[in-house]
Amino acid sequence: MKKNIFSVMVNPRGFIKSLTPNQVGKAPLLLFWVIGMVYLMRQATQFELSYYFSYGWVFVAAVVLAIPFGYIIMHIFTFFIYWAGKLFKGKASYRQLFSATSYARVPQTFVLISWVLLVSLLGQVAFTQVYVLVGLPPVISALLFVQIVFYIWEFVISLHTIGEVQEFSAWMSLWNYILAAVIVLLISFFIQFLVAIAFSLDPRQGHALGSVLEFIQ
Protein backbone atom coordinates (compact mmCIF):
# COMPACT_ATOMS: atom_id res chain seq x y z
CA MET A 1 0.00 0.00 0.00
CA LYS A 2 1.37 3.38 -1.04
CA LYS A 3 2.08 5.81 1.79
CA ASN A 4 0.67 9.31 1.89
CA ILE A 5 3.82 11.34 2.46
CA PHE A 6 1.81 14.19 3.97
CA SER A 7 1.13 11.94 6.98
CA VAL A 8 4.69 12.73 8.10
CA MET A 9 3.37 16.18 9.03
CA VAL A 10 1.12 14.77 11.76
CA ASN A 11 2.96 11.59 12.76
CA PRO A 12 6.64 12.00 11.85
CA ARG A 13 8.02 9.22 14.04
CA GLY A 14 5.36 6.76 12.94
CA PHE A 15 5.88 7.61 9.28
CA ILE A 16 9.66 7.10 9.42
CA LYS A 17 9.23 3.90 11.43
CA SER A 18 6.86 2.54 8.77
CA LEU A 19 9.38 2.81 5.93
CA THR A 20 10.39 -0.57 4.54
CA PRO A 21 14.08 -1.49 4.02
CA ASN A 22 13.63 -0.80 0.29
CA GLN A 23 12.30 2.69 1.01
CA VAL A 24 15.05 3.69 3.44
CA GLY A 25 17.61 5.99 1.84
CA LYS A 26 15.17 7.13 -0.83
CA ALA A 27 12.53 9.81 -1.35
CA PRO A 28 10.30 10.77 -4.31
CA LEU A 29 11.95 12.85 -7.04
CA LEU A 30 9.04 15.26 -6.81
CA LEU A 31 10.01 16.01 -3.22
CA PHE A 32 13.58 16.85 -4.28
CA TRP A 33 12.09 19.09 -6.97
CA VAL A 34 10.06 20.95 -4.34
CA ILE A 35 13.11 21.32 -2.08
CA GLY A 36 15.24 22.58 -4.96
CA MET A 37 12.57 25.04 -6.15
CA VAL A 38 12.15 26.58 -2.71
CA TYR A 39 15.90 26.88 -2.24
CA LEU A 40 16.55 28.41 -5.66
CA MET A 41 13.74 30.95 -5.41
CA ARG A 42 14.92 32.00 -1.97
CA GLN A 43 18.45 32.44 -3.28
CA ALA A 44 17.17 34.33 -6.33
CA THR A 45 15.41 36.75 -3.98
CA GLN A 46 18.41 37.19 -1.71
CA PHE A 47 20.58 38.02 -4.73
CA GLU A 48 17.76 40.09 -6.26
CA LEU A 49 18.14 38.38 -9.63
CA SER A 50 15.13 40.18 -11.10
CA TYR A 51 17.40 43.22 -11.44
CA TYR A 52 19.63 41.21 -13.78
CA PHE A 53 17.24 38.82 -15.57
CA SER A 54 13.58 38.48 -16.45
CA TYR A 55 11.69 36.97 -13.52
CA GLY A 56 10.17 34.46 -15.95
CA TRP A 57 13.59 33.14 -16.93
CA VAL A 58 14.64 32.96 -13.29
CA PHE A 59 11.56 30.89 -12.54
CA VAL A 60 12.14 28.60 -15.55
CA ALA A 61 15.78 28.09 -14.55
CA ALA A 62 14.63 27.10 -11.06
CA VAL A 63 12.15 24.59 -12.52
CA VAL A 64 14.89 22.98 -14.64
CA LEU A 65 17.59 22.89 -11.95
CA ALA A 66 15.39 22.06 -8.96
CA ILE A 67 15.81 18.27 -8.82
CA PRO A 68 19.63 18.18 -8.86
CA PHE A 69 19.82 21.08 -6.42
CA GLY A 70 17.29 19.50 -4.08
CA TYR A 71 19.07 16.14 -4.20
CA ILE A 72 22.50 17.67 -3.54
CA ILE A 73 21.21 19.92 -0.76
CA MET A 74 19.71 16.97 1.08
CA HIS A 75 22.88 14.90 0.78
CA ILE A 76 24.98 17.80 2.09
CA PHE A 77 22.67 18.38 5.05
CA THR A 78 22.42 14.65 5.79
CA PHE A 79 26.21 14.38 5.74
CA PHE A 80 26.55 16.97 8.51
CA ILE A 81 23.59 15.63 10.48
CA TYR A 82 25.21 12.17 10.33
CA TRP A 83 28.62 13.25 11.59
CA ALA A 84 27.25 15.73 14.13
CA GLY A 85 25.05 12.92 15.43
CA LYS A 86 28.14 10.78 16.07
CA LEU A 87 29.16 13.27 18.77
CA PHE A 88 25.89 12.48 20.55
CA LYS A 89 26.21 8.72 19.92
CA GLY A 90 23.46 8.62 17.32
CA LYS A 91 22.63 5.14 16.01
CA ALA A 92 21.21 5.94 12.57
CA SER A 93 22.85 4.95 9.31
CA TYR A 94 23.42 7.56 6.61
CA ARG A 95 20.56 6.08 4.58
CA GLN A 96 18.15 6.30 7.50
CA LEU A 97 19.09 9.93 8.10
CA PHE A 98 18.73 10.76 4.41
CA SER A 99 15.13 9.56 4.52
CA ALA A 100 14.49 11.29 7.85
CA THR A 101 15.80 14.68 6.71
CA SER A 102 14.24 14.47 3.23
CA TYR A 103 10.72 13.54 4.31
CA ALA A 104 10.85 16.24 6.98
CA ARG A 105 10.84 18.76 4.09
CA VAL A 106 7.32 17.80 2.98
CA PRO A 107 5.89 21.07 4.42
CA GLN A 108 7.94 22.89 1.78
CA THR A 109 5.22 21.85 -0.66
CA PHE A 110 3.07 24.58 0.87
CA VAL A 111 6.00 27.00 0.94
CA LEU A 112 6.39 26.41 -2.80
CA ILE A 113 2.69 27.12 -3.39
CA SER A 114 3.10 30.43 -1.57
CA TRP A 115 6.18 31.20 -3.71
CA VAL A 116 4.24 30.58 -6.93
CA LEU A 117 1.51 32.95 -5.70
CA LEU A 118 4.13 35.56 -4.76
CA VAL A 119 5.73 35.37 -8.21
CA SER A 120 2.31 35.68 -9.84
CA LEU A 121 1.41 38.73 -7.77
CA LEU A 122 4.76 40.53 -7.83
CA GLY A 123 5.85 39.92 -11.42
CA GLN A 124 9.24 41.46 -12.24
CA VAL A 125 9.91 42.49 -8.62
CA ALA A 126 9.29 38.91 -7.40
CA PHE A 127 12.97 38.12 -7.00
CA THR A 128 13.92 41.42 -5.36
CA GLN A 129 13.45 42.94 -1.93
CA VAL A 130 11.93 46.18 -3.15
CA TYR A 131 8.52 45.21 -1.79
CA VAL A 132 10.08 44.91 1.66
CA LEU A 133 11.45 48.45 1.40
CA VAL A 134 8.20 50.04 0.24
CA GLY A 135 6.01 48.14 2.69
CA LEU A 136 4.19 44.84 2.50
CA PRO A 137 0.64 44.67 1.14
CA PRO A 138 -1.58 42.46 3.34
CA VAL A 139 -1.71 39.59 0.84
CA ILE A 140 2.11 39.52 0.56
CA SER A 141 2.45 39.63 4.34
CA ALA A 142 0.01 36.74 4.62
CA LEU A 143 1.96 34.61 2.13
CA LEU A 144 5.26 35.29 3.91
CA PHE A 145 3.62 34.42 7.22
CA VAL A 146 2.44 31.12 5.70
CA GLN A 147 6.05 30.37 4.74
CA ILE A 148 7.28 31.00 8.28
CA VAL A 149 4.57 28.77 9.75
CA PHE A 150 5.48 25.85 7.49
CA TYR A 151 9.22 26.34 8.02
CA ILE A 152 8.65 26.07 11.78
CA TRP A 153 6.46 23.01 11.21
CA GLU A 154 9.24 21.48 9.11
CA PHE A 155 11.74 22.18 11.86
CA VAL A 156 9.61 20.39 14.47
CA ILE A 157 9.07 17.42 12.12
CA SER A 158 12.84 17.22 11.57
CA LEU A 159 13.50 16.90 15.29
CA HIS A 160 11.13 13.94 15.47
CA THR A 161 12.23 12.13 12.29
CA ILE A 162 15.90 12.52 13.20
CA GLY A 163 15.17 11.51 16.77
CA GLU A 164 13.37 8.37 15.59
CA VAL A 165 16.27 7.02 13.52
CA GLN A 166 19.00 8.24 15.90
CA GLU A 167 17.05 6.89 18.90
CA PHE A 168 17.15 10.37 20.42
CA SER A 169 14.63 12.40 22.34
CA ALA A 170 13.41 15.54 20.54
CA TRP A 171 15.71 17.59 22.78
CA MET A 172 18.79 15.60 21.83
CA SER A 173 17.74 15.84 18.19
CA LEU A 174 17.67 19.61 18.63
CA TRP A 175 21.36 19.69 19.51
CA ASN A 176 22.19 17.34 16.63
CA TYR A 177 20.23 19.60 14.28
CA ILE A 178 21.66 22.88 15.56
CA LEU A 179 25.27 21.74 15.28
CA ALA A 180 24.78 20.54 11.70
CA ALA A 181 22.71 23.60 10.74
CA VAL A 182 25.33 26.04 12.02
CA ILE A 183 28.00 24.33 9.91
CA VAL A 184 25.74 24.34 6.83
CA LEU A 185 24.84 27.99 7.43
CA LEU A 186 28.48 29.06 7.56
CA ILE A 187 29.26 27.11 4.39
CA SER A 188 26.20 28.62 2.70
CA PHE A 189 27.31 32.17 3.56
CA PHE A 190 30.78 31.42 2.17
CA ILE A 191 29.36 30.01 -1.08
CA GLN A 192 27.01 32.99 -1.44
CA PHE A 193 29.96 35.33 -1.03
CA LEU A 194 31.95 33.49 -3.73
CA VAL A 195 28.94 33.50 -6.10
CA ALA A 196 28.43 37.21 -5.49
CA ILE A 197 32.05 37.94 -6.39
CA ALA A 198 32.03 35.64 -9.42
CA PHE A 199 28.89 37.22 -10.90
CA SER A 200 29.53 40.78 -9.69
CA LEU A 201 26.55 40.72 -7.34
CA ASP A 202 26.36 42.45 -3.98
CA PRO A 203 27.45 39.87 -1.34
CA ARG A 204 25.61 41.91 1.30
CA GLN A 205 22.27 41.28 -0.36
CA GLY A 206 19.83 39.16 1.64
CA HIS A 207 17.83 40.26 4.63
CA ALA A 208 17.58 38.91 8.16
CA LEU A 209 14.50 36.80 7.41
CA GLY A 210 16.36 34.99 4.64
CA SER A 211 19.22 34.22 7.01
CA VAL A 212 16.87 32.84 9.65
CA LEU A 213 15.07 30.65 7.12
CA GLU A 214 18.43 29.45 5.80
CA PHE A 215 19.36 28.43 9.36
CA ILE A 216 16.21 26.47 10.24
CA GLN A 217 16.44 24.61 6.95
- For CA atoms 162, 104, 36, 208, give the dihedral sign: negative
Please state, in angstroms and as integers, the Cα–Cα distance from residue 199 to each residue in 47, 189, 195, following that order.
10, 15, 6
Angle at 176 between CA 214 and CA 22, to 5 degrees: 90
Q: How far apart are CA 49 and CA 58, in angstroms?
A: 7
Q: How far apart are CA 214 and CA 209, in angstroms?
A: 8
How does residue 201 score in pLDDT terms, banded at 50, 70 and 90? low
Dihedrals φ, ψ of 24, to 5°? -70, 135
pLDDT above 90 (res 100):
yes
Task: Report the run of H or E that residue 119 belongs to, with start and end.
Answer: helix 108-122
CB 173 within 8 A of CB 163: yes
CB 100 within 8 A of CB 92: yes
Mean pLDDT over 78-89 rounds to 93
Mean pLDDT over 23-49 rounds to 93
Per-range mean pLDDT, top range of 49-53, 93-97, 137-141, 142-146: 93-97
Task: Quote the pLDDT of residue 216.
Answer: 41
